[in-house]
Amino acid sequence: MLYHVLKVAREAEASRHVVVVGYRGGQIVSEFSSCGDVEFAEQTERLGTGHAMMTTRGRFEGFAGDILVLYGDTPLLMAPTLKKLVEWHRHQDAAVTILTAEMENPAGYGRILRYEDNRVQGIVEEKNANRYERAIREINTGTYCFDAGHLFQSLEKITRDAVQDEYYLTDCVRILVDEGYRVEAVLTEDSTESIGVNTRVQLAQAERILRRRILERHLLSGITILDPSTCYVDDEVEIGKDTILFPGTTISGASKIGRGCQIGPNTQIVSSQVGDGAAVNASYLSNVVVPPGEKVGPFATLRKDEE
């Protein structure tokens, strides 16, 4: 999930990436430390989203720009949406701009409170909302664009919630509103972008949406996929034009498929290269190279074990 969040942040032209780590943070640092543009801030106690943001203060010492705040468990955001958020934030000269979404079933999400003239009043967490506030369908996606100065000044003023004993980042929005600063909200056109992953059910839902997007991207680039419902392609896979994917095809890892290939049916390719015009039928490939024009299978297993 974090891979996708960082990927979309780069696509949205964010210049620095600070990841807050806590529980099992060493695993995250180990996995992403090789990425030259990722920095880490450690949250030793899990005291809420506001506290997580407080741990980044040292990383942004002297920084006077805008800070895009993203949740690590919201992997379906898209770059055009984030660019729209930042552009609107800067156009309105806002202290903070919130990305919101309208959902048929907003259970589990914080609700956006507005004044009668539609100005943003604040955000209420569902656990603290009354029944009228829970009926609101516009939700906080957890994605913000803050002016750095206003962010850290408001963080100094938030206090622990009496119910959950946590510091909420949403309280920064209320403080900025109360102090008369401009607070804006941008409504995303696709509410699925805001899906957070907290359960395995939500994880399966997010993966289904992401895989559909990946296949649509390849279809639009000139790839034929005979049965998208049975084909799985990882985000980093490259496929050449006029290649055909037959039903039951899975391509994962840093695989590269050439132009005019025929892959499948019932084929799995892992971190392999397939040359132009090659055909792989009902076979398993792992860490191998198939020369251009070669035919593999059916029922072949080609595997090179990594050292």
**pLDDT for 220-248, tens place per residue?**
999 999 999 999 999 999 999 999 999 99
Of 248, 245, 247, the closest CA to residue 262 belongs to 245
Query: Which contiguous run of DSSP H or E holds residue 21?
Result: strand 17-21
Q: What phi, psi does 184 have (nearest 5°)?
A: -120, 165
* 138 touches 100 (CB < 8 A): yes
**pLDDT for 180-221, tens place per residue?**
999 999 999 898 998 888 899 999 999 999 999 999 999 999
Count CB-CB contacts under 10 A for residue 112: 25
Rounded CA separation 157/278 (Å): 63
**pLDDT for 93-132, tens place per residue?**
999 999 999 998 888 888 999 988 888 988 988 888 899 9
Q: What is the pTM of this model?
A: 0.84
Q: Which domains does the chain have, with CATH numbers?
A: 2-194 (3.90.550.10), 222-303 (2.160.10.10)
Instruction: Label the pairing between strands 267-270 and 138-147.
Output: unpaired
Rounded CA separation 5/13 (Å): 13
Q: How many residues comprise the chain?
A: 307
The share of the chain scoring above pLDDT 70, in percent, equals 99
